[in-house]
Homo-oligomer: A and B are copies of this chain.
Amino acid sequence: MIRQPSTAGNEKGVQQLVSEKLTQLGLEVDIWEPDVKALSKSKFFNSSRSDFDNSPNVVGVLAGTGGGHSIILNGHVDVVPPGDLNTWDEDPYSGRVKDGKVYGRGATDMKGGNAALLIALETIVDMDVQLKGDVIFQSVIEEESGGSGTLSVIEERGYKGDVALLPEPSEMKIFPKQQGSVWFKVKVKGISAHGGTRYEGVSAIDKGIKVYHKLLELEKIRNDRLNDPLYAENPIPIPLNIGQFNGGYFPSAVPDDVEIEGRYGIAPAESIEEAQREFEETLKHLAEDDEWFKEHPVTVEWFGLRLPPGGCDLDHPFLEVLKNSYQSVKNEEPTLAGSTWGTDGGLLTQAGNIPSLIFGPGTTRMAHFSNEYVELDKIFDTAEIITEAILEWCNRSK
């Protein structure tokens, strides 16, 4: 799977592999290209693509006999580009195995997780047990670029499940809550003038720095308010990351505009809309400390990334099942935490109304980095834990 360079728009090769495997295992296989026109009606749609030609979704269903609990296993096959090839020790799509690790773009995020799912499915098929509930395996596109793959599974195909498990790189921690995130762009105005008489202008950089500090204040207020034990160990559970600050056009001129771009974390219990409202309201208060903003209010744009938060209740019965399986395989308590990043789990929870959990073998810090790898032992352990959990969950009567 790693040898298939499945960046956005190039997922066909790996999806072919996946669908062949699912067919081999005897599952009912559904392959389709998402329809931009149909999806764009959803408020969760977020893509700049005009079509999804050559970017098929694949779903395989291991149908139960009925009366049991069903589970969705969701993994994305798209990977982020490898970036500067000089920072890789070898071909980013080598799939090379060395010292118990498999290397390559997507190893940890999240083809290692997808492999664990396929191993679990194969094990269950090989065991020749008959489950009561359905197991719905979703191999999706576009997670890294807005989630249209999973959105299509929900909106166009209507697959439902009692719970969803996504083996994103959690280092085998269980994340019953996951942060959402959106991108923002704040535009700040100034008045240009010659640098030699800079007092005749108003520096947009100066004003932009005030916006910067205001946003950090907002981050503090939001995090002080959050009281979720899953994030107790996290210094900034829902960070507001200011990723870009660009202003001015000439060294000798007073800068008359600044753009500040960043990523705004959404708490698991929040809606994106409510968090956005708080952000916009906060920036309105700038005028209280600086009259400039009264006449020249900043503008806020929400663009690009838009991942709703997701999760399940802490008393959701599948969480107990997964914890027990972990305990049985690893002989220790699993670590529970809240994820610091968004995944397609947010869409499953908010657009699909399906409780979702993250539990996967990957190394978080290797996601999107050069020389990305995943440890083979963790793939196998994850597969074993998921297998046990499925056997327990899908055989439980409703």
| Segment from A27-35, A113-121, A240-248, A319-327 that makes contact with B | A240-248
| Segment from A7-15, A132-140, A256-264 that makes contact with B | A256-264
**B-contacting residues of A (Cβ < 8 Å)?**
179, 181, 183-184, 194-199, 203, 205, 208-209, 212, 235-236, 239, 241-255, 258, 261-263, 265, 304-305, 339-341, 367-368
Which residues of the other chain, B, contact A244 by a CB distance below 8 angstroms? 247-251, 255
Which residues of the other chain, B, contact A265 by a CB distance below 8 angstroms? 195-196
Chain B residue nearest in CB terms to A197: B340
Q: Is the CB of A261 within 8 A of B248?
A: yes
Which residues of the other chain, B, contact A203 by a CB distance below 8 angstroms? 242
CA A245 – CA B255 in complex, angstroms?
Answer: 9
Going nearest first, the 6 A-B pairs with the smallest beta carbon separation are: A195-B241, A244-B248, A196-B340, A195-B263, A196-B341, A243-B251
A76 to chain B, nearest CB (A): 17
CA A253 – CA B80 in complex, angstroms?
Answer: 14
A74 to chain B, nearest CB (A): 20
CB within 8 Å for A183 and B251 given contacts A196-B263, A245-B205: yes
Name the one of B239, B245, B253, B254 contacting A199, with C-beta atoms under 8 angstroms.
Answer: B239
Name the one of B208, B235, B236, B251 contacting A305, with C-beta atoms under 8 angstroms.
Answer: B251
Which residues of the other chain, B, contact A251 by a CB distance below 8 angstroms? 183-184, 241, 243-244, 261-263, 304-305
Which residues of the other chain, B, contact A243 by a CB distance below 8 angstroms? 195, 248-255
A to B CB contacts below 8 Å, 11 in the list = A179-B196, A181-B196, A194-B341, A196-B239, A196-B339, A241-B254, A243-B249, A244-B248, A244-B255, A246-B247, A252-B305
CA A183 – CA B254 in complex, angstroms?
Answer: 13
- Given A183-B251, A196-B339, A203-B242, 11 further pairs, Cβ under 8 A: A181-B195, A195-B239, A195-B265, A196-B263, A196-B341, A198-B239, A199-B239, A241-B251, A245-B255, A251-B262, A252-B305
Q: Is the CB of B199 within 8 A of A205?
A: no
CB within 8 Å for A252 and B263 given contacts A209-B212, A340-B196: yes
Which residues of the other chain, B, contact A249 by a CB distance below 8 angstroms? 243-244
A184 to chain B, nearest CB (A): 8
CA A245 – CA B196 in complex, angstroms?
Answer: 18
Which residues of the other chain, B, contact A262 by a CB distance below 8 angstroms? 195, 251
Which residues of the other chain, B, contact A252 by a CB distance below 8 angstroms? 181, 183, 241, 243, 263, 305
CA A194 – CA B263 in complex, angstroms?
Answer: 10
Which residues of the other chain, B, contact A305 by a CB distance below 8 angstroms? 251-252
Which residues of the other chain, B, contact A253 by a CB distance below 8 angstroms? 241, 243
Chain B residue nearest in CB terms to A252: B263
CA A276 – CA B367 in complex, angstroms?
Answer: 44
CA A195 – CA B184 in complex, angstroms?
Answer: 13
Most buried by B among A199, A205, A252: A252
Chain B residue nearest in CB terms to A341: B196
Most buried by B among A195, A209, A251, A341: A251
CA A262 – CA B248 in complex, angstroms?
Answer: 10
Which residues of the other chain, B, contact A340 by a CB distance below 8 angstroms? 194, 196-197
CA A303 – CA B117 in complex, angstroms?
Answer: 57
